[in-house]
Amino acid sequence: MRRGIGLGAIKKNKYEQEKYKDKGNEIQENQFEQMTKQLEVFKVNLEEFATKHKNEIRKNSEFRKQFQEMCASIGVDPLSSGKGFWSVLGIGDFYYELAVQIVEVCLATNAKNGGLISLDELRTRLIRARGKNKSHQEISKDDLIRAAKKLKIFGSGFNVIPMGKDKYMVQSVPGELSMDHSVILQQAEKNNSCLSVSYLEQVLKWEKERGEKALEHMVNQGLAWIDLQNCKDKMYYFPSLFTACINSTN
């Protein structure tokens, strides 16, 4: 007959488990402490790098993008650091100024495009508005996207919508666009800024009701116009894509 495990063996086993647990916690604490020290070293090196290349960061948009990515890799956001060392770089001020200008352009074009503007048109209008002043920094698409995303703190009024192939739209009116709405914009861009319900049925294999519901919502939001002159089919035009289509053909 097999004898059961004695009380002494149970206590010994429990003691060893607690010892292993304590050792595991000690190793984790040491690893965390080492990672914290490494992170502090990275931040110091990043500050030294930023000081050395301050002018390049401010003037060169591509260099600025790479610097932002380097900051993000260690959890540093210069745009949110309005005080201390990072304020010396003036990066936050640059994006704040850019965000204000984005709002101005969006408000000025709202009546025309219903609060939806392509990133390319937004960049063109901003460059034109800023003029040829040499003190102004170069504006890249990445700069615009970062500045526009910061505007989301004001609510759902501002949103950056990916359109595929390095193309984006900036929405400046309240209301979320669904995946269907985004797909419609992508298809309209491919089809000279307009389409119909039958087009969605044919190309996307959508049910008629699905296309009608999505398109009517966009009309109600002021994002699309209806053309009833075509006796065969009701056409929906997207004014926010007019400029984008014109630029792509030039």
Mean pLDDT of 111-132: 84
In 3D, which of 191, 136, 147, 139 has the Cα closest to residue 170?
A: 147
Structural domains of the chain, ranges and CATH numbers in brackets: 11-75 (no CATH), 76-174 (1.10.10.10), 177-250 (1.10.10.10)
The pLDDT tens digits of the residues spanning 123-151 come to: 999 888 877 554 556 788 888 988 888 78
Rounded to 5°, angle at Cα 88 from 87 and 92: 40
Q: How distant is the alpha carbon of residue 187 from its chain centre?
A: 21
**Is the separation of the CB atoms in 68 and 50 below 8 Å?**
no
Distance, in Å, from the CA atom of 204 to the CA atom of 25, rounded to the nearest integer, reads: 55
- pLDDT, position 249: 42
Confidence class of residue 250 from pLDDT cuts 50, 70 and 90?
very low
Residue 132 vs residue 114, higher pLDDT: 114
Q: Is the confidence at residue 182, as pLDDT, over 80?
A: yes
Residue 248 vs residue 163, higher pLDDT: 163
Confidence class of residue 213 from pLDDT cuts 50, 70 and 90?
very high
Average pLDDT, the chain: 76
Mean pLDDT of 45-55: 72
Sheet holding 116-118, edge to edge: 116-118, 167-171, 159-164
- Among 15-19, 63-67, 180-184, 219-223, whose mean pLDDT is lowest? 15-19
- Beta strands 116-118 and 167-171 are antiparallel
pTM recorded for the entire structure: 0.60
Distance, in Å, from the CA atom of 244 to the CA atom of 192, rounded to the nearest integer, reads: 9
- pLDDT, position 122: 92
- According to DSSP, the residues that pair with 116 across neighbouring strands are 171
Distance, in Å, from the CA atom of 219 to the CA atom of 69, rounded to the nearest integer, reads: 38
Q: Is the confidence at residue 59, as pLDDT, over 60?
A: yes
How far, in Å, are 175, 194, 241 from residue 238 at the CA level?
Answer: 17, 6, 6
Confidence class of residue 195 from pLDDT cuts 50, 70 and 90?
very high
**Is the separation of the CB atoms in 224 and 215 below 8 Å?**
yes
In 3D, which of 79, 76, 106 has the Cα closest to residue 95?
A: 79
Residue 175 vs residue 97, higher pLDDT: 97
With pLDDT > 70 as the criterion, what percentage of the chain qualifies?
65
